[in-house]
Amino acid sequence: MLRIFGLNGFVEEFWGLVESMKNIGYGISKGVREKVLEKFEKEGLDGDDEKLRAVFDSGSIDKSETKISSRVCRIIRNEVWGDDVEKQLRDLNVTFSSDMVKMILGSLSTDPTKALILFRWLEESGLFKHDQQTYNAMARVLGREDCLDRFQKIVEEMKSFQFEIEGDTFTIVLGRFWKRRMIEEAVNLYEFAMAGPNKPSANCGTFLLKRIVMAKSLDMSLFSRAVKIFTNGGNVLTDSMLDAIIKSLTSVGRTGKCATVLEAMEEGGYVAGDNMRSKIVSLQFNAGKKDAAVKFVDNMELSRYNLDWKTWKNLIQGLCRVGDLDEACNRLRKMIKSEGVGSAGAPIDSIVAAYCRRNKAVEACKLLHNLASETEVRPWHRTYQMLITSLLAQRGFSDALKVLGLMKGHGFPPFIDPFIEYVSKSGTGDDAIDFLKATSKRFSSSIVFLRVFEAYFKAGRHNEAQDFLAKCPSFIRNHPDVLNLFLSKKPAKDAGTATSPLAA
């Protein structure tokens, strides 16, 4: 591979492979060196030319660190550790450096027991004094599931010597812990890394907290500990961080734990924004945790937190979804008292819709009348339309007329279509008169009267149409369009003799 890279212009890849080979105790052969050196000279790569000569000269031939490291590893791998192995290592007359020890330990990573024996022997024999680099190399070897006790001991020694954990060590070992779902061990490692000057990024802290909430069992004490480590390291908990954690909770079916997680983060100094609080309320209801959602809001009020309109809305809508309409109405009144009437439209609409779905439109009508007398609340146009339609469907004609009056009082145009349909199919003439009186202070225009007459005829209720006509004011009874409509509905033998619809 070195030959392929070197002879085809992949200089960066060539040096990368040289470094990888060096880390596992391999050197550059003389044949490759000569071929690649010739290519470097031909291409005018003077810097790489000199670098290659220096690498080869420093290792010529048997005294390079890579060659020595390879020889040391061969001795250790091929024999059981004992006096003979120690004698062979001493006979090499090697002056061990940090780089060489790191290289040897890395090469022995597949046999962590022998790597640790060598690590201890080097210092006990007086051949080498370990430093931060070699301790990190040993930690990388031992940072695995089957070496936890030995890894922890190395970490404790590093702490006692005030050695830092290097970025590569942290990344490699943490990755192994994630893969094996060793969450507590990951938190321990994170705590060690956060105690040093080169702290992991804030994203690492977020990732750690997400992993904790997604573990097989949720350990909130471990979560709180991780939060404390994160904040003690100078980081700040944010809304985006909580949002990421909530998504992780939701992915494993633990939406009901959102409030618990928020509480743990608040103990770490976090102050949730309005959007996050309202989102938690909604998620609690979605997870079927009504009591938890209500308790969450109550705790906010007890802590003198000013609930925003969106939190109120999500609470009321959630209560409506689970059918607790009495509590929804109580919370609506509290919301109006706290926030005013300006943002009450959506919650009122939700409550009215919930009542109507349960065939309790009359209760919704009472609610609107009470609110109208107690406050200056102004329901949405569609709320009125929905309620009127439901009341008429539940044969609450008189209540529907009351709602129509409220609707007019708030400046909305009268909603007449469902009334015309109701009166024409099941209403009396008196009902029709009451409806038309309710549409305005005086009687409605002739167009509305005509629509009612036409609806009566379409429904086949000619007698009711006549009764209604008899109760109409004279300007309607004598209106040409009304007379023509009634004449057109008369049987042919009577049409020629009748001078007025009332004559019949």
Asked whether 36 and 1 are in contact (CB, 8 A), the reply is no
pLDDT 10s digits, 102-161: 999 999 999 999 999 999 999 999 999 999 999 999 999 999 999 999 999 999 999 999
Asked whether 164 and 200 are in contact (CB, 8 A), the reply is no
pLDDT number for residue 501: 52
pLDDT 10s digits, 402-436: 999 899 888 888 888 999 999 999 888 899 988 88
pLDDT number for residue 499: 46
Identify the band that residue 498 occupies on the pLDDT scale cut at 50, 70 and 90: very low
pLDDT number for residue 147: 92
What is the token pair recorded at 333? 């009144």
pLDDT at 20 over 50: yes
Q: How far apart are CA 476 and CA 447, in angstroms?
A: 10
Q: How far apart are CA 404 and CA 431, in angstroms?
A: 14
What is the token pair recorded at 243? 């949002």
Identify the band that residue 24 occupies on the pLDDT scale cut at 50, 70 and 90: low
Residues in the chain: 504
- Residue whose tokens read 């209106």: 479
pLDDT at 388 over 70: yes
DSSP 444-478: --HHHHHHHHHHHHHTT-HHHHHHHHHHS-HHHHT
What is the token pair recorded at 381? 């146009």
What is the token pair recorded at 236? 């700040």
Q: Which residues, 6 or more positions from 359, have their beta carbon under 8 angstroms from its beta carbon?
A: 394
pLDDT 10s digits, 204-258: 999 999 999 999 999 999 999 999 999 999 999 999 999 999 999 999 988 888 8
Cα 462 to chain centroid, rounded? 62
Asked whether 154 and 119 are in contact (CB, 8 A), the reply is no
Share of the chain above pLDDT 70, in %: 94
Our CA angle for 81, 125, 91, nearest 5°, is 70
pLDDT number for residue 443: 59
pLDDT 10s digits, 40-78: 888 888 788 778 777 765 554 445 677 788 889 989 988
pLDDT at 382 over 90: yes
pTM of this prediction?
Answer: 0.66
